[in-house]
């Protein structure tokens, strides 16, 4: 099956180069090109492509506004092209929140060593994005509490409901069925939930769709959340500082990029820095972060398997691992180590995942104790972690 693509970019050179690379695969057909966001919105309705590639800085209408319009009129998977700078990160995160599925650096030299590698990366990413679920965003809710002291208020924060009362009610009202670990239907239906447990740490791993998913999970948690959290999001080194800063402004818990030697503590979420590996060491009863150079032998920097494996060793039987939306299977082996140590694993369900890759790999391997919709994960953490 051929995937149809609409290219939206004000650079004629970039439109031509991208079109040449994509059409060379034989699996992708570029059905149109637009020079600004307004044209992109109009052509998206007219041509109905499977995927749209979008620049963010364009005349007439910028890429973020165009994504919002496309998601409002005809939701379509959008792949953003951005610069690997702090400002580029900020804008890209805005685009992801607006409904874009994923992003790539616009400078091709930054994502590939040669043309053959570049071609494979671009084509694979387009095909993956074509299989995604665009616009998997929270439904509007009644106004919630104001931002915590010292934090900036935002539409995302103002729109969420109170972090405990609504979700717990919703969980009680939803019928639960049992799905034992290893059940092939585990990824398709909810499971019976047990009482709250004490966890030494909660680890959350994610990739494509993760920035928005993490925001929705973490903004549900109160400042008094009783466990430390470690977060692994597949993301470039230039993006993770902006992402951590964004989450910290939106959340009641504290969120920041992890640094070597950081001590884990309740109510603090530490985000693995892009381009490196984050491990947790537990010595003499004190857990500290170790930040290591990215290993070229590993596809992901940071890697969920690496971090989760270190959690399994440091806190056997006392860790909760959570796998959210993402391509591939990173996190599966880390979750296996957690399960072997007696710890618990939750995963996001297929319906609410932008890409049902990572959580599917964990569920199919029989490693998932609970399968949850994205909107239930934050409330379930409140209810299930003591």
Same domain? 270 vs 125: no
Catalytic residue among 330, 349, 375, 376: 330
The model scores a pTM over 0.85: no
Report helix, strand or coil for 79: strand
Whether 149 is covered by a domain: the verdict is no
| Known catalytic membership, residue 207 | yes
Report helix, strand or coil for 105: strand
The tokens of 82 are what?
A: 């951005």
Same domain? 99 vs 185: no
pLDDT at 143: 35
pLDDT at 14: 92
For the chain, the distance separating the N- and C-terminal CA atoms, rounded to the nearest angstrom, is 49
Same domain? 320 vs 208: yes
Residue 378 sits in a domain whose CATH number is 3.40.50.180
Whether 78 is covered by a domain: the verdict is yes
Whether 155 is covered by a domain: the verdict is no
125 contact partners, CB below 8 Å, separation of at least 6: 79, 102, 104
Report helix, strand or coil for 128: helix
Domain that holds residue 52: 3-130
- 262-289 burial, b at 16+ Cβ within 10 Å, e below that, comes to bebeebbbbbbbbebbbbbebeeeebeb
CA 106 from chain centre, in angstroms, equals 20
Residue 90 sits in a domain whose CATH number is 3.40.50.2300
372 contact partners, CB below 8 Å, separation of at least 6: 190, 346, 347, 348, 349, 380
Same domain? 126 vs 231: no
pLDDT at 107: 82
Same domain? 168 vs 289: yes
- 16-46 burial, b at 16+ Cβ within 10 Å, e below that, comes to eebbebbeebeebebbbbbbbbbbbbebbee
Whether 249 is covered by a domain: the verdict is yes
Same domain? 126 vs 189: no
Same domain? 77 vs 174: no
Same domain? 272 vs 347: yes
pLDDT at 194: 64
Same domain? 204 vs 112: no
Number of domains comprising the chain: 2
Task: Divide the 386 residues of the chain into consecutive groups of 10 and give the mean pLDDT of each group.
Answer: 95 93 93 97 98 95 97 96 87 95 85 80 94 61 36 34 33 34 43 74 97 97 98 95 97 98 97 97 89 83 97 97 97 98 97 97 97 97 93
Alpha carbons within 13 A on the beta-carbon side of 94: 18
Same domain? 122 vs 169: no
pLDDT at 254: 98
Backbone angles phi, psi at 139, to 5 degrees: -70, 150
| Known catalytic membership, residue 234 | yes
- 170-184 burial, b at 16+ Cβ within 10 Å, e below that, comes to ebeeeeeeebeeebe
Whether 139 is covered by a domain: the verdict is no
Same domain? 124 vs 176: no
Whether 150 is covered by a domain: the verdict is no
The tokens of 84 are what?
A: 């690997």
Helix/strand number for the chain, H first, E second: 13, 14
Whether 145 is covered by a domain: the verdict is no
Same domain? 216 vs 278: yes
| Known catalytic membership, residue 305 | no
Catalytic residue among 50, 94, 128, 207: 207
Catalytic residue among 82, 128, 234, 305: 234
Question: What's the rounded Cα separation, in Å, for the pair 271 and 256?
Answer: 6
Residue 134 is given by DSSP the state T
Alpha carbons within 13 A on the beta-carbon side of 333: 9
Whether 349 is covered by a domain: the verdict is yes
Look up tokens 């796998």; give the residue.
323
């Amino acid at each position: 099956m051929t995937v149809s693509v609409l290219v939206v970019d004000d650079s004629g050179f970039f439109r031509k180069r991208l079109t040449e690379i994509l059409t060379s695969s034989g699996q992708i057909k570029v059905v149109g090109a637009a020079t600004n966001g307004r044209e992109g919105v109009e052509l998206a309705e007219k041509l109905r492509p499977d995927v749209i590639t979008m620049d963010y800085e364009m005349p007439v209408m910028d890429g973020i506004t165009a994504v919002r319009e496309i998601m409002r009129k005809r939701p379509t998977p959008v792949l953003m092209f951005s610069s690997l700078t702090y400002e580029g990160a900020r804008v890209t995160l805005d685009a992801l929140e607006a409904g874009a599925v994923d992003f790539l650096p616009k400078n091709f030299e930054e994502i590939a060593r040669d043309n053959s590698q570049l071609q494979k990366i671009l084509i694979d990413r387009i095909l993956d994005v074509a299989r995604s679920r665009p616009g998997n965003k929270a439904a509007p809710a009644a106004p919630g509490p104001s931002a915590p002291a010292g934090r900036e208020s935002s539409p995302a924060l103002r729109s969420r409901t109170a972090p405990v009362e609504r979700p717990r009610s919703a969980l009680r009202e939803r019928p639960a069925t049992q799905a034992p670990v290893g059940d092939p239907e585990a990824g398709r239906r909810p499971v019976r939930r047990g009482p709250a447990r004490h966890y030494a740490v909660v680890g959350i791993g994610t990739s494509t769709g993760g920035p928005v998913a993490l925001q929705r999970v973490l903004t549900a948690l109160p400042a008094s959340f009783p466990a430390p959290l470690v977060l692994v999001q597949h993301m470039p080194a230039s993006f993770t500082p902006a992402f951590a800063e964004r989450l910290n402004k939106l959340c009641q818990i504290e969120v920041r990029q992890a640094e070597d030697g950081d001590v884990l503590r309740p109510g603090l979420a530490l985000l693995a820095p892009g381009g490196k590996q984050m491990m947790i060491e537990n010595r003499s009863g004190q857990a500290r972060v170790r930040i290591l150079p990215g290993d070229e032998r590993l596809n992901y920097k940071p890697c969920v398997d690496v971090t989760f494996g270190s959690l399994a060793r440091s806190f056997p039987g006392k860790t909760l691992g959570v796998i959210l939306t993402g391509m591939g299977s990173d996190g599966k082996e880390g979750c296996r180590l957690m399960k072997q140590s007696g710890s618990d694993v939750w995963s996001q369900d297929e319906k609410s995942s932008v890409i049902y890759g990572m959580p599917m790999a964990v569920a199919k391997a029989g490693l998932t104790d609970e399968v949850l919709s994205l909107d239930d994960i934050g409330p379930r953490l409140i209810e299930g972690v003591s």
